[in-house]
Amino acid sequence: METDSRQSRQPEDISVYSGKAAYPPALPITPYTPSYCEENVYLLAQKFLGDPDVMRDWQMFAVFISNHTKTVALWNQRLAQQPHFPVVWDYHVVLLLRPHEQNLSQLDESHPTTDGITMSSQFRQSWIYDFDTQLEIPCTLEDYLEGSFMDVPPQFESLFRVVPGEVYLTHFASDRSHMLRLVDAGDSTSESGQVYISPPPSPPYQNHHNEEIVSHLYHSGFQTGNYADTLLHVHQNVYRLHAIILSRSPYLAHLMSTSPQAGGQRVIYVHLDQEPEVTEEGFAIALGYLYSAVSLNMIRPHNARAVLAAGCLLGGMEDLCRYSYEACRQSISVDTIGRWVEFIDTIPSSTDGSTTPDVPKTSIFGLYGQRLKDDVYHFLVDTLPEILEVQQPPSQSSSSGRHGRDILLQIYSRVPFEMFKTAVESPSFRVDPTGSDQARFKFAKEAIELRKRGIARGSGAEETVVLAFGGGNGLGNSVHITRKMRKRPLWKVNA
């Protein structure tokens, strides 16, 4: 599929064609696929129908050009093998616009191209959009007829069927079977002996039909529960749903296959006591996504993590998970970083403190848990110091910059130890204009003092920071954070 890049041109003297200066709309940018004229015109008609300015001034028609032998000759076509040679189509479709007050009744399927049409003033005000012509797009109907049709034997003469644009968009459909062509027996590209001629990705009218079906499933199936065959119990809610739709989720498909079906309806229970991240709202949005992607419109920063958790639990909805994950990532800010730090602390991780821990695949978030952990880490190390202006030189430092350092300390005082260690030890973590090791060391000492009164209090562990001299010369990190368990006091008991 390609986009038609030719620009439409206006005639030098519009008064020749119209009693008033009625310029036709320029050819908009729409997908174009050679040999699929009816679909190209369909997409153009959709574009014009959605433009209130066009529909206010113009009537729109799809014009089918064919004959009883399905051999119509058109000149000035792109696919002509040589200049001044015609192209013989089985049929061809163009779009016609004309001012609202005119009457097009004289142009119908019974009129040949050159002999049967009287070129009255009403037709001179009509404009043709033909994606396959070498004439201007659009051009007047008079110019199009003169440039596209010549005197030909009867089997190549053209007949016209004119269809109102709204009717065309509502009722036209095609299975593309007319686009099949035979291939040589030795052609290895086809086992059936037939191949399509470079079709577009999917018929536009098919997309519209599919959207109607999905909308019906969502509103009549998910929202109202019509013709339900499955009752799903979760939290305190009962959903009246449909097994064929629920089977899109591997999790729900397993529950249905292992749940007895009594009477006419199947009953399944989803227990979320051990999954606090899956909220009632998040589960409902993910459940609705099994019926329709309209659920994506309900994802907001405040519920994105719950939707992601529910999507990961149910499975089979990667698009929903990616969308909600992106909403989570974009929601990380100075105002929300505290909550994200608390969330990261709940994700299972290793305890040696040597590296940024990986999230076990048993976590409900799966790989998205590690991605969120990495996002929080990069925000803490790279983005947050810049937002808080702690990297400004003293001459440019403002009161907001000094206040920003206090905020940064407060945030780092609540960061889980493994991430705190990795972040502060990273040379990318800059808390002064030069990014010096001494500045990071001083920051770490202040943060650890705060941590002793907060996150590290009562843990039985002691955190310390060490500045290794010479460590900044390519020999490793200069700032080292360690944690060790405090020794329990020993009491001597006299016998």
* Structural domain containing residue 278: 223-330
More confident residue, 5 or 457: 457
Provide the percentage of residues in the chain whose pLDDT is more than 90.
Answer: 43
- Ramachandran region, residue 199 (left: φ > 0; alpha: ψ -120 to 50; beta: rest): beta
Same domain (yes/no): 143, 257:
no
Same domain (yes/no): 456, 467:
yes
Give the residue carrying structure tokens 């089997």. Answer: 155
CATH number of the domain enclosing 51: 3.10.620.10
pLDDT value for 399: 55
Q: Pick the catalytic residue from 4, 13, 37, 139.
A: 37
Band the pLDDT of 122: cuts 50, 70, 90: low
Lookup: tokens for 205? 């009218």
Give the residue carrying structure tokens 């990961």. Answer: 312
Band the pLDDT of 115: cuts 50, 70, 90: very low
Q: Is residue 459 part of a domain?
A: yes
Query: Which tens digits make up the pLDDT trace of 465-475?
Result: 888 765 544 44
Q: Pick the catalytic residue from 84, 90, 111, 130.
A: 130
The total number of structural domains that make up the chain: 3
145-149, 263-267, 287-291, 479-483: range with lowest mean pLDDT: 263-267
Tell me, yes or no, if 319 is annotated catalytic: no
Tell me, yes or no, if 302 is annotated catalytic: no
Q: Is residue 204 part of a domain?
A: no
Cα 435 from chain centroid (whole Å): 39
pLDDT value for 459: 60
Q: Is residue 492 part of a domain?
A: no
Mean pLDDT, the chain, whole residue set:
80
Tell me, yes or no, if 37 is annotated catalytic: yes
Lookup: tokens for 216? 């019906």
As a whole number, mean pLDDT of residues 350-368 equals 58
pLDDT value for 362: 43
Domain edge (last residue) among 268, 297, 330? 330
Same domain (yes/no): 175, 232:
no
Same domain (yes/no): 290, 337:
no
Q: What are the residue ranges of helices labelled H in 361-472? A: 367-378, 384-387, 399-412, 417-425, 437-452
Q: Is residue 211 part of a domain?
A: no
94-98, 107-111, 271-275, 400-404: range with lowest mean pLDDT: 107-111
- Ramachandran region, residue 136 (left: φ > 0; alpha: ψ -120 to 50; beta: rest): beta
Instruction: Please state, in angstroms and rounded to a whole number, the distance separating the CA atoms of residues 451 and 462.
Output: 10
Please check the confidence at residue 305 and state whether its pLDDT lies above 90.
Answer: yes
Lookup: tokens for 375? 């996002």
Lookup: tokens for 253? 């498909």
Same domain (yes/no): 25, 160:
yes
Q: Is residue 495 part of a domain?
A: no
Peptide bond into 138 cis (omega under 30): yes
Give the residue carrying structure tokens 């399927």. Answer: 109
Please check the confidence at residue 396 and state whether its pLDDT lies above 70.
Answer: no
Lookup: tokens for 384? 């947050």
As a whole number, mean pLDDT of residues 411-421 equals 89
Q: Is residue 216 part of a domain?
A: no
Same domain (yes/no): 152, 242:
no
pLDDT value for 199: 63
Same domain (yes/no): 42, 185:
yes
Query: Which tens digits make up the pLDDT trace of 204-240?
Result: 566 677 778 888 999 999 999 999 999 999 988 999 9
As a whole number, mean pLDDT of residues 23-36 equals 85
Please check the confidence at residue 369 and state whether its pLDDT lies above 50.
Answer: yes
Q: Pick the catalytic residue from 53, 57, 92, 345.
A: 92
Same domain (yes/no): 282, 304:
yes
Domain edge (last residue) among 330, 362, 394? 330
Please check the confidence at residue 243 and state whether its pLDDT lies above 90.
Answer: yes
pLDDT value for 402: 67
DSSP letters, 224-260, are T-TT--EEEEETTEEEEE-HHHHTTSHHHHHHHHTS-
pLDDT value for 405: 87
Please check the confidence at residue 282 and state whether its pLDDT lies above 90.
Answer: yes
Query: Which tens digits make up the pLDDT trace of 36-81?
Result: 899 899 999 989 988 888 998 899 999 999 999 999 999 999 888 8
